[in-house]
Structure 1
Amino acid sequence: MTTSVKKGCLPPGLVSNLQDVLASRKAGSNGEEQSKSEESEGPSSSVEANSEIDSSKPVVLVTNGDGIEAPGLTVLVEGLVRDGRFNVHVCAPQLDKSVSGHSVTLGETLAVSTAEIHGATAYEVSGTPADCVSLALSGALFSWSKPSLVISGINKGSSCGQHIFYSGAVAGAREALICGVPSLSISLNWKKDESRESDFKDAVDVCLPLIHAAIRDIEKDVFPRNCSLNIEVPTSPSTNKGFKITRCSLWRCVPSWQAVSSNRHPAGHFMSKQQSLGIQLAQLSRDASAAGAARRLQTQRKSVEIESVAVAGRPDVQRETVKKFFRLEFLEKEQEATDEELDFRALENGFVAVTPLCLPLHVESEMHGAASEWLAAAITGDE
């Protein structure tokens, strides 16, 4: 079958693009039978290529919340690779998911693509940090069954206090804990107009001794169990006052919702890298035709409904859809707490705050007693 294009109706660049697509399809048909025979052999148990892994080195899995191209992750992976003591693997979100919390993607297909990070086996995932860690530990992506340690970070911004519930970086470490794998989450207390990209490298230098100690004690089976360590690096990592064990505070930024005139959320990439312009325009044309048909059908249905209402003698009521747009921002606020053992206070004082985070499986006896009394009163109807 031949396809002709009238050059006077389309831009020359588009014509050339369409011709390239047709040529590539023709060339691809020659290898179709070979592709089918390869598929008939069945999928491999792991997507990862059969790259050699030095069994003498522990496997470290790295993820983050800011996305695979974030400088914090890049510098951390480069530092681990340069250190030479680990088999470094990366499974991180394709886009920024820094405030995604512990959300997971259920019932939808995630796209996984290889990523180029020197010295590491890396994949980017169209999901959340929790998705990335869950997938990596499932055995479906990597050839190993379980890493020695999962490191999530380095996050650009503090994850102290109640921000552990928003933080995608902390969620990545928490997902590892749920799966029974020791984990660390690392954040840099980034401050606008004060912090620099080079601070991430200093943060890696600060945390590497702690990572070495964690791997050593994991192998000796003396690393703290049933908890993940949330490491908060101060704004100036190179002048830190040392490590300090802290407790999770109630600190949080103030949420501020602002009404805006329109949806200012940045649009995604309009054109896919893998698709040609011709295919994109063809898809848009089909979508536009389908949308037009749907609108016409909806209009016809409304006309029929209005006519039937008039016949029944009921008033014609048309409801107007009101759409509003809001934007959430977090505002800094001064904290009055003076307890030096709290995470945010130690961080502001220049310490590297290390906070053990446990899964909420155990309820304190005082809280349990109060809840028990309330439930008994609620059931009996006492006021």
Structure 2
Amino acid sequence: MTTSLKSSFMPPSLISNLQQVLALKSDGAEKHASEPNKVSCNSSSSSCCALMPSEDTKDKQCPKPVVLVTNGEGIESPGLTFLVQALLLDSHLEVCVCAPKSDRSVAGHSVTVGETISVSSAQINGATAFEVSGTPADCISLALSGALFSNFSKPALVVSGINRGSSSGINMLYSGAVAGAREALLCGVLSLCISMNWM
């Protein structure tokens, strides 16, 4: 299985890690990775490291860049689990998750009004994670507000997915996963949505 992405946008190590996790899934094998060491990000220097640290930054005490993950299919979807596993394989990244509590695949870019949104912590492979009763757009809005995560003021990247099925063409208007990435982009954060056709 291969993943075709612009090499200038995503680090090659992330692509490689994602391919590795998906290959393990298709082989039916289970790999137990040890939980990566946690490093708190200093909000005043959150931009001092790029997603791919250079040789110059490896020796400095630079905080890990934060990758914020969301999706449209809910916190328990296999696509989200595979994506988080792939990101955690890169020890240069801090992985945070804020995803809907239930499947909100076709919520589009809707936001919750007139009702209280509930949030609770969740366990996903050692990543700091929260599940939200709202939509993917609500999740990103909450995550970027500073109300949930105290270890960053702005993530280096938001990744939404892995969405089951196509999110291209007209489906982009309905996709909750695309809306999560779009909400981050509207807030000035680099973002992308990953979708795959699998059964």
- TM-score, normalized by the shorter chain, greater than 0.5: yes
CA RMSD of aligned residues (A): 1.2
Aligned residues: 141
> How far apart, CA to CA, are the structure 1 residues paired with 2:158 and 2:138?
14
| Structure 1 residue 56: Cα displacement | 2.6
1:90-105 matches, within 5 Å, as 90-105=97-112
Q: For residues 315-355 of structure 1, what are the alpha-carbon distances to aligned partners after superposition, in whole Å with 9 as ceiling and x for unaligned? A: xxxxxxxxxxxxxxxxxxxxxxxxxxxxxxxxxxxxxxxxx
Work out whether 1:62 is the aligned partner of 2:78: no
Q: Provide the secondary structure at the position in 2 that maps to 1:96.
A: coil
Q: Of 161, 176, 183, which residue of structure 2 is paired with 1:175?
A: 183
> Which structure shows the higher helix fraction?
1
> How far apart, CA to CA, are the structure 1 residues paired with 2:126 and 2:89?
8
> How far apart, CA to CA, are the structure 2 residues paired with 1:120 and 1:169?
19
Q: Of 121, 124, 141, which residue of structure 1 is paired with 2:148?
A: 141
**Identity %, equivalent residues:** 69
Higher relative contact order (CA 8 A, sep 6+): 2
Work out whether 1:53 is the aligned partner of 2:40: yes
Structure 2 length as normaliser, TM-score? Answer: 0.68
> How far apart, CA to CA, are the structure 2 residues paired with 1:122 and 1:80?
14
| Structure 1 residue 140: Cα displacement | 1.0
Q: Of 158, 165, 185, which residue of structure 1 is paired with 2:166?
A: 158
Q: Provide the secondary structure at the position in 1 that maps to 2:145.
A: coil
Q: Of 111, 127, 132, which residue of structure 1 is paired with 2:134?
A: 127
> How far apart, CA to CA, are the structure 1 residues paired with 2:162 and 2:147?
25
Displaced runs of 4 or more, over 2 A: none
> How far apart, CA to CA, are the structure 2 residues paired with 1:93 and 1:125?
5
Q: For residues 85-128 of structure 1, what are the alpha-carbon distances to aligned partners after superposition, in whole Å with 9 as ceiling and x for unaligned? A: 21000000000001100000013111101101122000000000
Give the residue type in structure 2 aligned to 1:131.
D
Look up the match of 2:113: 106
Structure 1 length as normaliser, TM-score? Answer: 0.36
> How far apart, CA to CA, are the structure 1 residues paired with 2:147 and 2:90?
28
Give the residue type in structure 2 aligned to 1:86.
L
- Gap runs ≥5 in structure 1: 1-50, 196-383
> How far apart, CA to CA, are the structure 1 residues paired with 2:169 and 2:176?
14
Larger Rg: 1
> How far apart, CA to CA, are the structure 2 residues paired with 1:117 and 1:154?
15
Q: Of 178, 185, 192, which residue of structure 2 is paired with 1:184?
A: 192
> How far apart, CA to CA, are the structure 1 residues paired with 2:137 and 2:63?
28
